[in-house]
A = this chain, B = another copy of it.
Amino acid sequence: MSRPSPLSAMLPRLLRWASLDDEDRGAILDLPYKELRLAPTQYLVREGDRAQYSCLLTSGFALGSKIVGDGGRQIVGIHVAGDLVDLQNAFLDRADHNVQALTAIEVIAIPREAILALAERRPLVARAMWHNTLVDAWIHREWAANIGRRDAKARLAHLLCELAVRVEAIGAGSRYGYELPMTQEHLADCLGLTSVHVNRTLKALAQTGVLRRQARSVRVADWNQLTEIGDFNGAYLHLEPDSGIQVGLEPQRLSA
């Protein structure tokens, strides 16, 4: 008996978005691919590359970033095991951002033509991948709101909440305590802050008692208070059942 294809790691993610039949699954497992291993700091794709592959991250952490004119870096997304990375490379001529290994990572790279062909033959798989993209866009909007309209303490708390939930969802820890392989400079580049200020803000959070930090691990002493400080509602991650809670003001019907 052969060991299961590494592509099977793609199934849970896609099944989150659509129910796929045996033919759909078979088509996924038949995709051509190559496995890659990258050491920390190595680039999977660089902004401007004519990237030919879309990737599935099977282990480790990666991050997406953009460099602005004066050399500043903005991290635009964090990827954990199971995430589909660079689906946009299937369509867009050039990579719009860097993807870099944060820890040692393992990646399945799938040629863009294979992704496109799969999407054309298997509508439900296409739907699942599209859905995944829509969730990514949602996450981006959350980040924009976080960076643009919250102060440093709330921004940081919000990010730590997001990471907690995502790490917990892949079984790599719990929201009350998890390993975070990011430096304070990484956090700063996610949040539009400087590492110095992240350091001070982290200290301030620790002093209020909501979290304790040693080395690269985060211990959340008071989850509710952390979500409070960070103005965090995890619905956008789509990792928990719909709470049914209305987050807006009075709902208004769509009317002609």
Chain A residues in the interface with B (C-beta under 8 A): 17, 34-37, 43-53, 64, 66-70, 72-74, 76-77, 87-88, 91-98, 109, 116, 119-121, 123-124, 126-127, 129-131, 133-138, 140-150, 154, 191-192, 231, 235-236, 238, 242, 245-249, 251-252, 254-256
Q: How far is the CA of A256 from the CA of B42 in the complex (A)?
A: 12
Contact with A137, one of B133, B148, B192, B256 (Cβ below 8 angstroms): B133
B residues near A140, Cβ cutoff 8 Å: 137, 140-141, 144
Contact sample, A vs B, 19 pairs, CB 8 Å cutoff? A37-B256, A47-B247, A48-B245, A48-B246, A49-B251, A66-B141, A66-B145, A67-B248, A68-B150, A72-B150, A74-B144, A74-B149, A91-B130, A93-B242, A94-B235, A119-B123, A120-B123, A133-B133, A147-B147
Whether A96 contacts B127 by the Cβ 8 Å rule is no
Whose C-beta in chain B lies nearest to the C-beta of A251?
B49
Q: How far is the CA of A48 from the CA of B246 in the complex (A)?
A: 5
Given A35-B256, A254-B45, are A149 and B73 neighbors across the interface (CB < 8 Å)?
yes
So how many copies of this chain end up in the complex? 2
B residues near A64, Cβ cutoff 8 Å: 141
Whether A88 contacts B235 by the Cβ 8 Å rule is no
Considering the complex of A and B, which 4 residue pairs feature the smallest CB-CB distances, nearest first?
A148-B192, A48-B248, A69-B231, A140-B140
Given A48-B251, A141-B76, are A96 and B131 neighbors across the interface (CB < 8 Å)?
no
